[in-house]
Amino acid sequence: MSTTLPYALRALERLRHRIRGPQTVRRLDTFTVDLSAWKLSLSDRTPCIWVHSHEHLNLPAVDLAYAIRDVVRQQGWEHTTVLVLVDGTADELRQQLSRLFTTQFVIWDAKQQKEIFDASSPTRLMLDLFLEQIPRAQLSPYETSRWVTGSRFFGRSSDLKKIRSRPSNFMIFGIRRIGKTSLLREVERLLDEEDPPTEGSRRHVYIECSTLQTPDDFYREVAAKFQAPLKLFLERKAQSFRNATKMFDYLASEQRGQITFLLDEFDRLLEYTQHNLDFCTVLRQASQNKRARFIMAGFREMRRAMYNREHPFYNFGEPLYLEALERKDVAEMITQPFDALRVKLDGREEIVSRIFRETAGQPLFVQFYCQTLLEQLDRSEGNVISINDFQSVYDNTAFRDIVLTTFMDNSVPLERAIVFAMVGVQDKHEREVFTIEDLDAELKRRGLVVTFNRLDEACRNLDTANILRRQGKAYSFRLPLFVRMLQENYSVEFGFKKARQEYMAQDGETRR
Ligand SMILES: Nc1ncnc2c1ncn2[C@@H]1O[C@H](COP(=O)(O)OP(=O)(O)O)[C@@H](O)[C@H]1O
Ligand SMILES: [Mg+2]
């Protein structure tokens, strides 16, 4: 195959980057290259267009630019970085492409390609050539607004290994924004590579369940994903499923194999179906019959089901608790991209330690630190980051908002009451470590009496939610900045009062 590849791709192939193609699109040869190992924004299918025929090399630059543009549109590559390899000169083409179109092109001419091919470190040279043509912020892998996969996904390697090497079901537990969707999507991407879906054979599917209210909604969603003939399973009158187990049999035989269902946000569906467990029994049966395998993500409801002996989900799968990232993963998330982007970290170990400590390893917070630091660097057009630059992160209101909403989203009223009470005490006595007894005394002083069980459970949840850290009998806050953020944004007294009110109202309801 190698002789039919352009020089730059031959260099990449030698370094074991996966190359797919050529595919001829509008008479131009196109490829995709897996550049995800660079841990930048470049994906495992970075598009590449090869300009090498006489026909194209002899075109006026502006016409060639339009021909390239048509390929980009046809392939839907407008919003990714597109590599253009020209077996000739490319100065004029470069000007035309940047003048005419907003798509981000990286263009290498024949000379540059040859240099890459002959370089002692082709990777370093390619990265530098990328950096010459694309702004750093655009090449960076940091992403704070949606789930991440591939080159943007860091850590969790033992979780991925477990899920991929064992045939069992998995229940993934984790608070909001800890990375459940990212993990499921990464598993989906890996399964796509291993067992690519084709027409008529698709053995894994991702389903977002947060908007589904009933089992029928769920089955309908599944049928739609597989374009299965719904009427085979629907009870005409009630529009209800006659025999859902049959649907799983049907799908497994149609798609020629057991199907892996990646079910995200499963808590809501469990809540809706708590008084009728048939749905969960159907899933259990499908799994026992080896028609389906389930990898589901949730938190409180799923945990309740999994540990309830009466529930069909009791011991249904292997539990997997998603926690914060380990230090070495956080270190990778910081240093790999910054090194590739030629950013110098002045006091490398100290920077890593500081970010790890201040974010408690929460991936989203680490992303915020890195992104903010990089944006600041781009503004100042510098190349060095040091501890002194961290103030820009502390001043970032978006970061503060995300820390506080994450706390609000991840806690129930009693947990919030505990946190506000702790902040109050910390303020007054400058103490940073608390026992359950201290907490109990403080809550009582504030007129809130809670049973030991509830208090203990709440503290454990706050530990799981990455807000408190438990060491033996003692608790302390995990994020050093968190207390300051709370104090700056809320009146601690008011926060406590509201949380107590909500807790009491809720407590009244459960007693009724
Ligand atoms: N493995 C990871 N590597 C890098 N960033 C991650 C990872 N997991 C999560 N993140 C960051 O956290 C954010 C929230 O992740 P997401 O998967 O949406 O969480 P959840 O589904 O648990 O709410 C992402 O936008 C991303 O910035
Ligand atoms: Mg999610």
Convert the pLDDT of each residue in 249-272 to its tens digit.
999 998 999 999 999 999 999 988
Beta bridge partners of 438: none
3-state percent breakdown (helix, strand, coil) of the chain, nearest 5 = 55, 15, 30
Residues in the chain: 512
Cα–Cα distance between 130 and 127 in angstroms, integer?
5
C-alpha closest to that of 294 among 353, 345, 218, 354? 218
Given this model, what pLDDT does residue 2 score?
42
Q: Which amino acid is at 171?
A: M
Angle at 206 (CA atoms; ends 241, 79), nearest 5 degrees: 135
Kindly give, in sequence order, each residue whose CB lies less than 8 Å from that of residue 54, ignoring residues fewer than 6 positions away. none
Ligand nearest to the CA of 175: 1
Q: Is 296 in contact with 266 (CB distance < 8 Å)?
A: yes
- Between strands 204-208 and 170-173, the pairing is unpaired
- Single out the residue of 84, 83, 79 nearest to residue 56, CA to CA: 84
Ligand 1 centroid – CA 485 distance (Å): 22
**pLDDT value at position 3?**
53
Nearest Cα residue to atom 20 of ligand 1: 177
Kindly give the number of the ligand 1 atom that is closest to the alpha carbon of 175.
22
Query: Percent of the chain, pLDDT > 70?
Result: 97
Residue 57: name the closest of 27, 18, 95, 23 by CA: 27
Residue nearest to atom 12 of ligand 1 (CA): 364
Closest CA to 340 of 127, 30, 48: 127
Cα angle, residue 423 at apex, residues 421 and 428 outer, rounded to 5°? 100
Q: Is the CB of 56 under 6 A from ligand 1?
A: no
Ligand nearest to the CA of 141: 1
pTM of the full predicted structure? 0.90
For 53, phi then psi, to 5°, come to -80, 155
490 Cβ below 6 A of ligand 1: no
* CB of 367 closer than 6 angstroms to any ligand 1 atom: yes
Number of other CB atoms surrounding residue 252 within 10 Å: 18
Rounded distance between C-alpha atoms, residue 188 and residue 178, angstroms: 18
Is the preceding omega at residue 6 within 30 degrees of 0, hence cis? no
- pLDDT for 437-448, tens place per residue? 989 999 999 999
Ligand 1 within 6 A of 143 CB?
A: yes
Contact by Cβ (8 Å): 247, 228: yes
Name the one residue in this structure whose structure tokens are 């797919």.
20
Q: Give the bridge partners for 296, in sequence order.
A: 171, 263
The model's confidence at residue 4, banded by pLDDT at 50, 70 and 90, is confident
Residue nearest to atom 15 of ligand 1 (CA): 179
Nearest ligand to the CA of 409 is: 1
Residue 269: which of 257, 277, 258 has the closest Cα? Answer: 277
Cβ neighbours of 237 (radius 10 Å): 6
- Which two structure tokens, joined as six digits, stand for 360? 């408690």
CA distance 186 to 192: 10
Residue 194, both tokens: 């291993």
Q: How far apart are CA 47 and CA 71, in angstroms?
A: 11
- More confident site: 490 or 383: 383
Q: Of the candidates 397, 426, 416, 431, which has an alpha carbon nearest to the alpha carbon of residue 500?
A: 416
- The ligand 1 atom at the shortest distance from the C-alpha of residue 146 is 25
The CA angle 23-29-34, to the nearest 5 degrees, is 65
pLDDT above 90 covers a percentage of the chain that reads 71
State mean pLDDT over 305-310.
90
Q: Is ligand 1 within 6 A of the CB of residue 153?
A: yes
User: Among the listed ranges 97-101, 167-171, 319-323, 496-500, which one has the minimum average pLDDT value?
Assistant: 97-101
Instruction: Give tens-digit pLDDT for 88-137.
Output: 999 999 999 998 888 899 999 999 999 999 999 999 999 999 999 988 98
Taking the CA of 367 as reference, the closest ligand is 1
What does the pLDDT look like over 40-49, one tens digit per residue? 999 999 999 9
Whole-number pLDDT of residue 238: 57
Which has the closest alpha carbon to 112: 99, 138, 96, 94? 94
Mean pLDDT score across all residues of the chain: 91
| pLDDT (0 to 100) of residue 410 | 87
Would the CB of 17 count as within 6 Å of ligand 1? no
Residues 6 or more apart whose Cβ sits within 8 Å of residue 238: none
| pLDDT tens by residue, 329-346 | 999 999 999 999 999 999
Residue 505, Cβ density class (10 Å: 0-12 exposed, 13-18 middle, ≥19 buried): exposed
Q: One-letter amino acid identity for 510?
A: T
- CB 208 less than 6 A from any atom of ligand 1: no
